[in-house]
Structure 1
Amino acid sequence: MPGNEREKIRHLLVLRDLQGQRTIPLKEATYSLGRDVRNAIVLRSRSVSRQHAILLRVTLPETEQYGFRIIDGSFKGKRSTNGLFVNGMKCFSHDLKHGDVIEFGNNQVKAKYYAISNLSEQAFSESCVAEDISGFLSEQASPVNPFETLIVPTNGVEGASEVALARLASFPELIPNPIIEVDIGGTVTYLNPAAALKFPDIRKLGVQHTILAGLTSAVQNCPGN
């Protein structure tokens, strides 16, 4: 298995509701969850709000990896009726770690989040259709916690306005245009998913990359430097 496949973190949500269990690979930048059929992930229970929660992909600084943050409520900032619980604790926002158990409403709908590495694309696809993924976890994959060494303040989300929450869920992680942040020394400090996909070697090459060539000298020649 190629090294880049082995190191890649893959994200799964094993969901159980009134219609049974299913495994959902998390590959998109954002998901809405709720009982309305227009949600990306439909939760089958009357105790669940029409749009109960949001899953938001969060890029980890200075890496090509990302984790997922779950937020109670809709994209418009409306909270769910019966709440969101992670590992038995009611919360508004939570950065998911491997093994976290999520409950929506009155315990009729549960999900377990997995973040795993050392798994090929084929094995990952097979795990998504398997009734029991414990074999993949014990024999092949290695559990990882994307946010383990990263401190991301989330308490500020609690009081977010409708406009702020919409911005959080849409920019810059979701837009199709590449966004690249570079410090004054020419080191790439941030890539949004579109940039990471379009320029997979830009962090390694830095200012040697075609689109960053000459950046350092341009910065140094700017007035005031």
Structure 2
Amino acid sequence: MAANNTKEILINNSPTHAFSNDVSMAAQTNESHVLIIEHDQERRELILDRPVYSIGRDSCCDICFINSLFVSRRHATLIRVPRDDKKHSYYYRIVDGDAKGKPSSNGLMINGRKILDGLMINGQRIPAHDLKNEDEIVFAPQVRAIYYLRRNSMPAGEETDSSYDDITLIDPRMTNDIED
């Protein structure tokens, strides 16, 4: 019974239920959250747009590292957390272990440091970190990810004028005269 309460607390402490439509939320905020994952000489880009992601070796995980023996079956959980600025923007929090509060065997390193601070749940400290742009997350040797928060300067719904996309401006002083 306590495990179910812990799962509820982990997810409900981060009110992801406030976001009903994941795709429209990204459009409203002009932000994109990207995770670049490097594992076994493979590099892939994942656009984060869901409220919760499970990360681990288990094939049921949303972000799966099947062949890495140092990654736990349920190594970490990414949770979308709204910002307090009332602009419908959000960030992601990474929590060591599964959504039930069970930590991973080897923990997480963020920017070269093992995370020890975190959330207090049922009297137990669960390591967690609020991700910032360019944070590097190390799950195990040869298994890492880099988080990027990209902010678009253009308001949602506006498009650029593509008629100028193919124009290259050249200063006449940059070219050599053929006649010289």
Q: TM-score normalized by structure 1?
A: 0.49
SS of residue matched to 1:79:
coil
Moved over 2 A (4+): 4-7
Give the paired residue count: 117
**Structure 1 counterpart of 2:77:** 54
**Structure 1 counterpart of 2:107:** 83
Larger Rg: 2
SS of residue matched to 2:46:
strand
- Aligned pair in 2 of structure 1 residues 18, 119: CA closer, same or farther (>3 Å)? farther
Deviation of 1:13 after TM superposition, in Å, equals 0.1
Deviation of 1:7 after TM superposition, in Å, equals 5.6
Q: TM-score normalized by structure 2?
A: 0.60
**Structure 2 counterpart of 1:99:** 134
SS of residue matched to 1:21:
strand
Deviation of 1:119 after TM superposition, in Å, equals 7.2
In 2: Cα distance, 1:117 partner to 1:96 partner: 15
Q: Percent identity?
A: 41
Do 2:57 and 2:64's aligned partners in 1 also have CA atoms closer than 8 Å? yes
Which of 72, 94, 101 is equivalent to 2:96? 72
SS of residue matched to 1:82:
coil
Which of 104, 117, 130 is equivalent to 2:151? 117
Structure 2 residues not aligned, in runs of 5+: 1-25, 116-126, 157-180
Deviations 1:87-118 (A, max 9, x none): 0111121100000000003x220000000012
In 1: Cα distance, 2:71 partner to 2:41 partner: 14
**Structure 1 counterpart of 2:118:** none
In 2: Cα distance, 1:57 partner to 1:27 partner: 9
The RMSD of aligned alpha carbons is: 2.1
- Aligned pair in 2 of structure 1 residues 88, 33: CA closer, same or farther (>3 Å)? same
In 1: Cα distance, 2:149 partner to 2:97 partner: 23
Do 2:29 and 2:88's aligned partners in 1 also have CA atoms closer than 8 Å? no
Which structure shows the higher strand fraction? Answer: 2
> Higher RCO, 1 or 2 (CA under 8 Å, sep at least 6)?
2
One-letter code of the match for 1:103? V
Structure 1 residues not aligned, in runs of 5+: 122-225
